[in-house]
Every structure is written in C-alpha cells, then in structure tokens.
Structure 1
Amino acid sequence: MASHNPPADGRSPLGPTPGDRVFLWGAFPLLGAAVVWLLKASAGWVASLPWAPMQGPFKLVPSLPEPHATIGAVVLGLAAGAGLALLTEREYVTAVMDGKQLSFTRDGHTRTVPRDAVAAVFRDGKQIVLLGHGTQEVARISGEFSVEAFEAAFTRHGWPWQADGDPHRDSFRRWIEGDPALSPAAHALLRARAHTLGKSRRDDAEQLRADLGAMGIVVREEGRRQDWRRSGSEADGV
C-alpha cells in the first residue's frame, strides 16, 4: 500500500491508492471464484478418498446439473471474494497529517490528534502509538496501512518519532491476577480484556484499553499476555 505525495499545502494524505483498491476489488472476487470452481471441479476426486472429511457434500456436487453447478460455484466464489474485499476495505486506514495535527479514519470513525498533545510516536508491531506528555496513550493506529509511510510522514512533519520504539518499555510489568499494585476495578477490566483477546474481539479489547487509560493504566499485549504500567496522569483510586 502506498501513500500519496504531499500536496503544495504541506499536508500528507496517507492511505490506499486507487490502484490498491482496484487490485483489492478485482483480485479478491476473481480469486474467490477460482477457489470455489476448483473445489467444485475436484469434488468427485475428493469424494473418492476414503479418508477425506465432509464426503457427503463432495459426493453431492457431481450430481448437480450443468451448467448450473458451474455457474453457481463461480457466483458463490465471486460473492465470497467480494465479502473479503469489503472486510479489508473497512480495515483500511486513511489519514491527513501536517505539522499541527493528525486526522485518521478507519471503518468510518475519524480521530484527530493535535501535535502539541503528543510527546512520542513509535511503532508497536503493526500498530503506531502516540503518547502524551504524561506518558499516557493518546491514540493507537491499527488496521491496514503502511507503517513505513506513516513513519516517513511523522518524520517529515517534525513529530517526535522514536526509532527505538516505546521509550517507557522498561516500566511495564506483567499483569497477574490479584496484584496488590492494582485496584479491583483495574483487575476487572484487565480480566475482561484478557477474555476478549482470547476471543479475538479486537474492538472490545480496544475499548477496554481506553477504559484502563482513563484510570491511568497503559496496557500492551503479546498474544493473550498483558503487560501494564502507570501513566503520569493516572486517576485517583487505581
């Protein structure tokens, strides 16, 4: 995915190019059609294998009348590919950045972050994190985007990009149920978040991250493991 060149007004628009979207909506449906057609064409052979699973449906496919079976397989594949393209489209991140602010959008939701509210920007895996002056997490950019293109834009516009990653990474500690350093309310949120991570419910996990942030707890994860630290702007009672 490429970013657009900065226009004359100095702003940097970032996100998928028209070519990216043409490829997405062209290749995914065609690939889906090819895969389903291939499954349909090989159904008889798969049904002949005594160890193959789901033999019932594979035995049924060769008995379907032609050309309806082939047409149906191609249409089903096109629809499946288009559905996957739609999901990917929703994950695309688009943004406009300059020396004063960053506005980014994913799945119809836009967030604007002023430059003077940010003390550090760094890469966290496939995401980008913006920290405030109190070391709290101001924003986290996730979805389908080019981290390299965003890094170049942050650097070009003078944002405090941290090439070495999170400057507070040594402050994190592993979350352990019952840790007396955390309040029962914080434990409840971390416990709920561990459950959402196990269920791959990313939106719920991000909402719980924000709730913890409001309590002065910054959280990161590796798989289902959660690490935490306090921010400099933590709320009372944590």
Structure 2
Amino acid sequence: MESRQPDHEFGTSVNETSTTTVLGYPRSDRILILVGMPLVGVVIGLLLPVLARQITGLSKLPLRTVVEFVAAVEETWQVVAFMAGGGVVGLVFAFVSLSESLTVTLTDSRVEASHDHWGKEGYDRADVAAVFMDGTTLVVLDHDSRQLVRGTHAAPAQKLAAAFRAHGYPWQDSDPYAALFRKWSPGSGALRPEVDAVLAARREALKHKSGHDVRELTRAVEELGHTVRDKGTEQSWRPLVRS
C-alpha cells in the first residue's frame, strides 16, 4: 500500500491503494494559497496608506472620507495594524478558496464527493452513466441524466479523466447532453409554471450566493423532469434524458 504523496507533474495530492484513489486540492497549491494570500494582504495593508496619500489631492475622488482616513495612517502602530488586518483578510480569502473545491474518493464500485459546504455524498458505480468536466466543474450524471455530483475541482481534467477511467467509470470528453440546454427566460412558455417558479427562486439563491439553497432547488427542478446549469446568475435548462 502506498502512502499519500504529492504528484509533482500535476501538483495534485493522490492517495492510491489497490482499490482507492483520492483526488483533493493540490498540496503545493494549498500551501501557496495559505501562505501567499495572507502575504498579499500584508503588502496591501502596508502600501494602502501610501497610495491614499498620493490621491487625496484629486478634485474628484470617490469615498473621499475613507481615503483621507486611510491617508492619515502614519504612526508605526497604525501601519502594523493595517498590515495585520490585511493578513487576516487574506487568510479568510484563502480558507474560502480552499473550501470551494471538491475532494473525490474513487473505488471500482463507488464514488464519493465531499465539500466543506455540504458534506459528503456517495454513489454506486452502477448508478453512474457519465462523468465529465464542464469548464472547471466536475459533473457526475446518473442514468436519468440527473446531476449526482456537480462542483469545482482543482485537479486538471486529464488527471481526473485518468483516475475515473482507471476505476472503470464512463468518462466523457464533454457533456453528452450539452446541445439540449436552453437559456432560461422567465415566462417564456417553454416550461411549466411550476418549473419557472423553482428556477425563479433558484436565480435569487444564486444572486445571494446561497449554495445550500441552490443545491436544493436544483434537486427540485430535477424532480420536475429537468436539470439546470449556471453561468454566473444566468441559468440554462434541459429535459432529463434516460440513457
């Protein structure tokens, strides 16, 4: 049995035994984010007062009161406080960034996906009809083309494809149902009123970045015979298709 090691070619942390592959956030990237983002925040905290002093003389200056407040930061303890604040903000952004990526565990008979926001979900290999990348998003479909898993993954598509194929999963180079998607337009008549209502609620959840509500409303759309994908807050839908 091999212990967990970094794969330097792809920068992806992989734990492989004869039966299991774990694909998570790259270890090197994790270190870079946890160290780099706070450092960037510290530098911004150091330079911000200097920049503010340089622009206070502008005749038209948005948020002048805020800029003048920052420009007045000159004492050593004030600069240190700004730098510390920038470091904390950078660290928060680092943890948020890391929490957005899936961790995927594969065996020949089961796939599990875990996410900091919604926990862990697992599905039998027999229930999986297609696996592919939609941009940077990993998608796993069942035999009714429902989305069992949909989430951002940090690993390159080639790495994910190799891992899924090695365990016998039906990896696709692209979404096999991409041509069926149509942009959602409220009240267009293309969908039943109840589907429009769920998509309207889902659009609001997207605007408010409520990941839990978006997931629940996606499930509700699928219960009504359709599925949905997003580009920002713009939604596209297609009917479910039995494979």
Band the TM-score falls in, shorter-chain normalisation? 0.7 to 0.9
Shift of 1:191: 1.7
For the 8 Å contact 1:4–1:12, the answer to whether it is kept is no
Asked if 1:76 corresponds to 2:64, the answer is no
Instruction: Return closer, same or farther for 1:185/1:106 CA change in 2, 3 Å cut-off.
Output: same
Q: Which residue of 2 aligns with 1:236?
A: none
Letter in structure 2 aligned against 1:196: A
Whether the 8 Å contact between 1:186 and 1:212 is mirrored in structure 2 is yes
Provide the TM-score with structure 1 as the length reference: 0.85
The reply to whether residue 189 of structure 1 matches residue 198 of structure 2 is yes
CA displacement at 1:27 relative to structure 2: 0.7
Maintained 8 Å contact 2:73/2:79: no
Say whether the 8 Å CA contact 1:3–1:13 is kept in structure 2.
Answer: no
Q: CA deviation at 1:60?
A: 3.1
| 1:152-189 alpha-carbon deviations (Å, 9 max, x no partner) | 211222210111x1222233334343455633221210
Q: CA RMSD in A?
A: 2.4
Please tell me whether the aligned partners of residues 92 and 145 of structure 1 are also in contact (alpha carbons under 8 angstroms). yes
2:16 aligned counterpart, secondary structure: coil
1:160 partnered with 2:174? no
What residue identity is the alignment partner of 1:205? V
Among candidates 94, 109, 117, match of residue 103 of structure 2: 94
Q: For the residues of structure 1 that align with 2:62 and 2:162, how far apart are their CA atoms? A: 49
Q: Give the one of 25, 31, 53 matched to 2:62.
A: 53
Find the aligned partners of 2:133 and 2:144 in 1 and give their Cα distance: 19
Larger mean Cα displacement after TM superposition, 49-58 or 128-137: 49-58
Equivalence map 1:159-238=2 (5 Å) = 159-163=169-173, 165-178=174-187, 180=189, 182-232=191-241
Q: Secondary structure at the match of 1:220?
A: strand
Give the match for residue 133 of structure 1: 143
Task: For 2:203 and 2:70, locate their aligned partners in 1 and report how far apart those are by CA, in whole Å.
Answer: 43
Matched, 1:120 2:139: no
- CA displacement at 1:210 relative to structure 2: 1.3
Query: Unaligned regions of 5+ residues in structure 1, if any?
Result: 234-238
Task: Report the Cα distance in structure 2 between the residues aligned to 1:129 and 1:187, rounded to whole angstroms.
Answer: 24
* Fraction of identical pairs, as percent: 27
Matched, 1:150 2:160: yes
Aligned partners of 1:193 and 1:208 also within 8 Å = yes
How far 1:214 moved relative to its partner? 1.9
1:33-48 alignment, distance < 5 Å: 33-48=42-57
2:113 maps to 104
TM-superposed CA distance for 1:150, in Å, is 1.8
CA separation of 1:174 and 1:68: change in aligned 2, threshold 3 A: closer
Q: Secondary structure at the match of 1:42?
A: helix
Report how far residue 71 of structure 1 moved: 1.0
